[in-house]
Amino acid sequence: MSKNTRPEPADSLPALFLGFINDQHLCGPTECILLTVSGGLDSVVMAHLCQETGIRFGIAHVNFGLRGAESDADEAFVRDLAASYKAPFYTERFDTAAVASQQGVSVQMAARQLRYDFFERIARKHNYTAIATAHHRDDALETVLLNLVRGTGLAGLTGIPIRRDDEGRIPIIRPMLCTDRASIDTYAKQRGLVWREDSSNESDKYARNKIRHQVIPVLRELNPNLSQTLTDTLERLRGANDVVNSFLLKTGTWDSLVSEQGGHPVLNRDALLRLPSPLFLLNEWLKQFDFNYEQARQIFGVMQSGTIGQTFLSLTHRAWNDRDGLIITPFTPEMHYRISLNKWPAHGLIDVAGQFRLSVRTFDKPTDYKPSPDPATGCFNADQLQFPLTIRPWQLGDRFRPLGMNGTKLVSDLLNDRKLSLPNRDRIAVLLSGGQIAWVVGQRIGHEFRVSNVADRICEIQVLECISQ
């Protein structure tokens, strides 16, 4: 970051902003960037600074539907702001609470994923070269303090990256890291800017707000030049982090530990455990997939114990401790669905969340009927299937009585026995009747639902898009 002493904000902030963008190579003079604007102070000032300095931009806004009329008023405000700058405007409204419930994640996690997926989609469709967020130096300080409280490594002490380049995605840039909240506020008031206040920013029930309102003021009393001190410190920490990563790359550590399986990275468990500081190395590798240190520590414990099949989720990825090592796959909403059936569909076809389709037919049992030996076809005593039926992805801990067995078996053990690859495990679903697993779809039916001599009607369900063995 630039170490220039900051003069009066209203006079110098546009020059400081533009100089920071040029020094950090955030965007070129002919490029067009997508600004993420909530309507709050920081993003409104970012849009004004882009207008003042001649940067080409469009404006994107997400309405999360979490604050009722207040959220709608924010959207209308940002729409008018974009119109006043004659900038392209893009918006989308989400039922964030419903998405979070459906995916089994927190509202904050769902909102973050929805937001960045939307920005990525718009930026790619309209050829923006970067996505700009309005994080500033105080946000970076709050992030460092939160990471310290929760526990972190070297990377967690580097604050918010000025630029984030993830492979295959539009870069995310943070040009407002050139300044702090006080300077932004002064600039906005001197320029007569109008913005929206988010009522949730005043509540200390959120950890970040508690640090903002109660901790940082005390730190500023101890060091009035806290913003510049933080800037210098983060610069040194980023340098140290770069040196560590450069060393790991130069020595070939990752090349010796990481291979590829089905297009997914796999970390060699045995090779990792033989190296010095394996937990440190594991955490350094996992952070690119948005896993935190506590998760890395839990994953490390599972790897040490030799437990197979345990899964860990970050905001964007899933880690799976398999026989071949630790496998990383993208985490997508499609992995979470729940379909309830109160009756069989009229045309006998069921689309399972875009993952595969099922064909269903019921009929009176012929005297010479023999169930199909093909695992892609489940043959059931129709009278044993009780509506409503449920189709959902299999979960850790799912247990059923496989056809022909006396006792029960974990679904995870069945899939281990079948030696299914991780991508194929992702697509495994279960059919539940009365809370019991009637079928591990495409694999094995439950013993209680088999076609017996006393069955009068048969239900056959076939996987049209077969899950490979």
Looking at residue 235, what is its pLDDT? 84
**Closest C-alpha to 61, from 87, 25, 92, 107:** 92
**Tokens at residue 255, please?**
């090349």
Strand order in the sheet with 32-36: 89-93, 56-63, 32-36, 130-132, 172-173, 163-164
Number of Cα atoms under 13 Å in the Cβ half of residue 67: 13
Encoded tokens for 206: 């959120």
Rounded to whole angstroms, the Cα distance separating 98 from 225 reads: 44
pTM score, whole prediction: 0.58
Q: What count of other Cβ atoms lies within 10 Å of the Cβ of residue 49?
A: 24
pLDDT value for 242: 81
**Residues 6 or more apart from 57 whose CB is under 8 A from it?**
32, 33, 34, 35, 47, 50, 51, 87, 132
388: preceding bond cis by omega (within 30 degrees): yes
The pLDDT of residue 440 is: 94
pLDDT at residue 199, rounded to an integer: 65
Report residue 156 as tokens: 């967690």
Q: How far apart are CA 330 and CA 51, in angstroms?
A: 37
DSSP string for residues in 174-235: -GGGGS-HHHHHHHHHHTT---PPPGGGG-TTSHHHHIIIIIHHHHHHH-TTHHHHHHHHHH
DSSP string, 350-407: EEETTTEEEEEEEEEPPTT------TTEEEEEGGG--SSEEEEE--TT-EE-BTT-SS
Alpha carbons 363 and 348: distance in angstroms, whole number: 12
The mean pLDDT values, 10 residues at a time, for the chain of 469 residues are 44 91 92 96 96 96 86 94 97 85 74 90 96 94 84 76 88 95 93 85 70 87 86 84 75 78 86 87 86 87 82 81 85 68 82 80 88 90 90 86 91 84 77 92 92 86 66
Closest CA to 14 of 57, 60, 54, 58: 54
Question: Which pLDDT does position 68 carry in this prediction?
Answer: 80
What pLDDT, on the 0 to 100 scale, is given for residue 108? 79
pLDDT at 8: 46
CA distances from 266 to 182, 247, 281, 285, 422 (A): 46, 21, 14, 11, 11
